[in-house]
Amino acid sequence: MKILAYVNGSTKLGEGEVQKLTHINVAFARLRNSGAIDADHLDILAQFKDIRRWNPAIKLVASVVPQEPEAFTICAASPALRAAVGESCKRLITTYGFDGVDFDWEYPCVPSNGVDSTIADKRNFTLFCGEVRKAVDALGPGHLLSIAAGADLYYVESVELPELVKVLDHICLMTYDLKCGFHALAGHHTQLYSSTGDVFRNSCDQALRLFNQAGVPREQLLMGAAFYSRKWENIQDRNHGFLQISKTGGGYGPDYGILAKEYINKNGYVRYWDDEAKAPFLFNGSTFLSYDDEESLAHKCAYIKDQGYGGIFYWEHKCDPTGTLLSAIAKNLG
């Protein structure tokens, strides 16, 4: 059962937390239009020796984002550039000591987050991942290739999942930001199940079932957990703020470490529990905060074990300096 952390490349890790993990995805190496991948800026590279001493079985993976907005689209479209990316991935493994590569393309065919796209991305992404698989396999067995995927129908229809899973080890399904800046409706952003009355019927459960039905084996799917919150402000004091309309979408709220210190049942914020969604939230009369905590993570871990999924991952490690949430995952999933 995988317990995977996305860890910022400048984060300092300790022995206890490393021993609770099976995988670390280092955020981020950067893909250029030329097919080169930059990783020299990642301070965590200096910790690799200690990390492997503390946990010899751990897998250290370079998570790759575009340096230029069109980098993935350009590189995926060209046979020569796909080969260049494959060589760059081999360099990440042989030069820096990574065990594999994770592509965080947000998202093929989708012009979001300032990233360029084209409808040709759908086929080209399959070819792109296939070329990288061939390149890293040339180094010998055991090297990992994974992707981070958007947790809704748009992503399933933007890629060729049945073909991709043939070359991928697992998919990090981003079952967070299920409500975000696109949504004026205050609600859960990383709920296990949908709540009655919520017109947006997305949830961790729905997303995992969607990908499984689209051809991804359960053991290749990792559920995403959030170590940060989303917030909606200036909403009605009705139903504790849940499913109330905001004039703006759900912006980023405090990380869990700050929530625990200053917000949860403090400074006017009251914690509520939605037993249908298996999700907590905070409300102070005008601001609604959605997040994961020990209780919601226990339910997520039980679901993963009961349903036979591959494990859990979270974004992002530094958001909980207390170690509370990772300990909860390790306790319930280990």
Task: Write out pLDDT tens, residues 98-110.
Answer: 999 999 999 999 9
| CA–CA distance, 320 with 223 (Å, rounded to integer) | 18
Confidence band, pLDDT 50/70/90 cuts, at residue 88 = very high
Residue 110: helix, strand or coil by DSSP? coil
For 267-308, write each residue's pLDDT tens digit.
Answer: 999 999 999 999 999 999 999 999 999 999 999 999 999 999
Region 203-221 average pLDDT:
98
| List 106, 157, 233, 276, catalytic entry | 106
Domain 2-226+291-333, CATH 3.20.20.80 — does that match?
Answer: yes
H helices of the chain, in order, are: 15-19, 48-54, 71-77, 79-96, 121-137, 153-156, 161-164, 204-213, 256-258, 294-307, 324-333
Q: Are 76 and 124 in contact (CB under 8 A)?
A: yes
Q: Say whether 106 is catalytic.
A: yes
CA dihedral (252, 257, 259, 263) in degrees, to 10, reads -140
Q: What are phi and psi of 196, to 5 degrees?
A: -60, 135
pLDDT of residue 12 exceeding 80 = yes
For 226-282, write each residue's pLDDT tens digit.
Answer: 999 999 999 999 999 999 999 989 999 999 999 999 999 999 999 999 999 999 999
pLDDT of 145: 99
pLDDT of residue 128 exceeding 80 = yes
| CA–CA distance, 122 with 298 (Å, rounded to integer) | 36
Strand partners, 100: 61, 144
Residue 241: helix, strand or coil by DSSP? helix
